[in-house]
């Protein structure tokens, strides 16, 4: 550098690559980073090697019926191969909505997936167990995978993935219709750092696959599942569960399976919305056995009667938020029990309860002025579950 200074020939182009990399990482604006890469081939290489995340234009940021019907540029095997060869140090890769991508498209992960930690394959309809085996072989550091609506994935593929990617923390298996408790068991037994699992709309899962899970497992989404009583016991068996969503629980000939949640002393958030057959017995067991419960959504839980509501008022001492919208059996006496109990309550979602009189509602509001009574049903606490960043 001294010789260059004497000849007045120094410029930014003479800086070594490590210095240019520091400069690149100091650029906050995506536009500035793109401009950096367009300067010359050498700077483009620094831009490419510094990239840590990749999401295609066909990827769905929010999966909705309108986004699924939208005609977008799809990613084929050749596109992905070229891009993975260009960006060789990715930590996060989102391929959601790449409906034409098949197993062969994932072969480049064998060479360039060693740094990958998060992978989103939502709605990749042509990816099968073989493609998942390529992910398992090429991405040993994987901590988060989303397989929403991947119909080609079975227990075998999930077991292969779990045995290779034992650092896994989050797995979205919702609408994976071929996965059963066997695949779930392989995941929970091999991945002892698991924090969150989504099994919503997996009809073949009863919950028993969670038995013996790690105490790190804190978040479970199980909407519209057909859980069995022993499955619920399995769900809480790890001892660390904080959030559980069993909304729209499928009817079971064995009756209400949810009483087992009462053995989960760490639970903080429960979503029972549209669990139409949950009984007073389960409500009482949970109210007594879950001292840390802060939010409980019981909207449309029609079978809960006055004894259940009395148990909530009496035992849920830390409950801050309660949803009771459109509960047919919530009567004046039930609201009185909630009014006289639940001393920590700050928000009550209340609407459409046909057995409540306006007088009872106004009396609640006057005697519990610190409680905000609302109509909309929104979980006030959003768990950090399966967010793809």
CA dist 125 and 207 (Å) reads: 25
What average pLDDT does the segment 148-172 reach?
Answer: 97
* Alpha-carbon span 149 to 108, nearest angstrom: 23
Residue 128 lies in a domain: yes
Q: How far apart are CA 204 and CA 112, in angstroms?
A: 34
pLDDT at position 34 is 72
214 and 298 housed in the same domain? no
Read off the pLDDT of each residue in 268-284 and give the average, rounded to a whole number. 96
126 and 227 both lie in a single domain:
yes
CB atoms within 10 A of CB 246: 27
In what helix (H) or strand (E) does residue 348 lie, and over which residues does it extend? Answer: strand 347-349
Q: Alpha-carbon distance 195 to 207, whole Å?
A: 16
**Residue 347's CATH number:** 3.80.10.10
Residue 241 lies in a domain: no
The residue among 210, 232, 254 that closes a domain is 232
Q: What is the pTM of this model?
A: 0.86
Q: Report residue 61 as tokens.
A: 């940021």
- Give domain status of residue 158, yes or no: yes
Q: Are residues 40 and 26 in the same domain?
A: yes
Residues 222 and 351 in one domain: no
pLDDT-based confidence at residue 388 (cuts at 50, 70, 90): very low
Closest CA to 124 of 71, 59, 67: 59
Q: State the average pLDDT over residues 159-183.
A: 97
Q: What is the pLDDT of residues 340-378, one digit of tens each?
A: 999 999 999 999 999 999 999 999 999 999 999 998 877
How many folded domains does the chain comprise? 3
Task: Classify residue 4 by burial, with Cβ atoms within 10 Å: 0-12, 13-18, 19+.
Answer: exposed
pLDDT (tens digit, 9 = 90+) per residue, 1-44?
455 445 555 656 666 756 766 665 666 667 766 766 666 766 55
Same domain, 338 and 203: no
Q: How far, in Å, CA of 349 to CA of 375, rounded?
A: 5
Domain range for 42 is 2-47
Q: What is the pLDDT of residues 236-275, one digit of tens each?
A: 999 999 999 999 998 777 789 999 999 999 999 999 999 9
196: Cα within 13 Å, side-chain hemisphere: 21
pLDDT for 386 beyond 50? no
Report, as an integer, the average pLDDT of 138-150.
Answer: 97
- Rounded CA separation 24/370 (Å): 52
One domain, residues 43 and 74: no
At 179-214, the pLDDT tens digits run 999 999 999 999 999 999 999 999 999 999 999 999
Check whether residue 317 and residue 289 sit in a common domain: yes
Better-scored residue on pLDDT, 279 or 386: 279
- The answer to whether position 309 is within a domain reads yes
Asked if residue 129 is part of any domain, the answer here is yes
- 70 and 20: one domain? no
Residues 123 and 223 in one domain: yes
Report the C-alpha gap between 298 and 304 in whole angstroms: 9
- Domain finish residue from 204, 232, 260: 232
Mean pLDDT over residues 72-98, rounded? 80
């Amino acid at each position: 550098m001294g010789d260059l200074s004497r000849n007045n020939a120094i410029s930014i182009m003479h800086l070594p690559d490590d210095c240019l990399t520091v400069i690149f990482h100091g650029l906050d604006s995506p536009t500035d980073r793109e401009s950096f890469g367009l300067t010359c081939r050498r700077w483009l290489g620094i831009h490419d090697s510094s990239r840590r995340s990749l999401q295609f234009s066909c990827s769905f940021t929010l999966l909705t019926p309108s986004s699924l019907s939208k005609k977008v540029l799809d990613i084929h095997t050749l596109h992905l191969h070229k891009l993975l060869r260009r960006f060789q140090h990715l930590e996060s890769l989102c391929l959601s909505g790449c409906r034409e991508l098949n197993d062969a498209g994932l072969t480049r992960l064998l060479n360039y997936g060693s740094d990958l930690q998060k992978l989103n394959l939502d709605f990749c309809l042509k990816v099968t167990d073989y493609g998942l085996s390529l992910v398992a072989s090429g991405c040993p550091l994987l901590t988060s995978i989303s397989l929403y609506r991947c119909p080609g994935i079975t227990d075998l593929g999930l077991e292969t993935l779990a045995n290779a990617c034992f650092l896994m923390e989050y797995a979205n298996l919702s609408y994976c219709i071929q996965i059963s408790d066997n695949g779930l068991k392989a995941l929970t037994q091999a991945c002892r750092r698991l924090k969150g699992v989504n099994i919503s709309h997996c009809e073949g899962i009863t919950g028993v696959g969670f038995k013996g899970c790690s105490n790190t497992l804190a978040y479970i989404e199980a909407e519209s599942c057909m859980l069995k009583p022993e499955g619920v016991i399995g769900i809480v068996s790890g001892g660390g569960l904080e959030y559980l969503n069993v909304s729209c629980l499928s009817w079971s000939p064995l009756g209400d399976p949810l009483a087992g949640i009462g053995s989960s002393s760490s639970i903080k958030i429960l979503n029972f919305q549209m669990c139409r057959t949950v009984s007073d017995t389960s409500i009482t067991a949970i109210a007594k056995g879950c001292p840390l419960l802060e939010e409980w959504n019981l909207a449309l839980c029609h079978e809960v009667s006055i004894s259940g509501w009395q148990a909530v008022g009496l035992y849920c001492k830390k409950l801050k938020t309660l949803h009771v919208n459109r509960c047919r059996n919530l009567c004046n006496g039930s609201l009185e029990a909630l009014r006289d109990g639940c001393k920590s309550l700050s928000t009550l979602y209340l609407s459409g309860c046909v057995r409540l009189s306006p007088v009872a509602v106004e009396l609640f509001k006057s005697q519990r002025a610190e409680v905000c009574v609302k109509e909309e049903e929104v979980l006030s606490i959003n768990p950090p579950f399966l967010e793809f960043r």
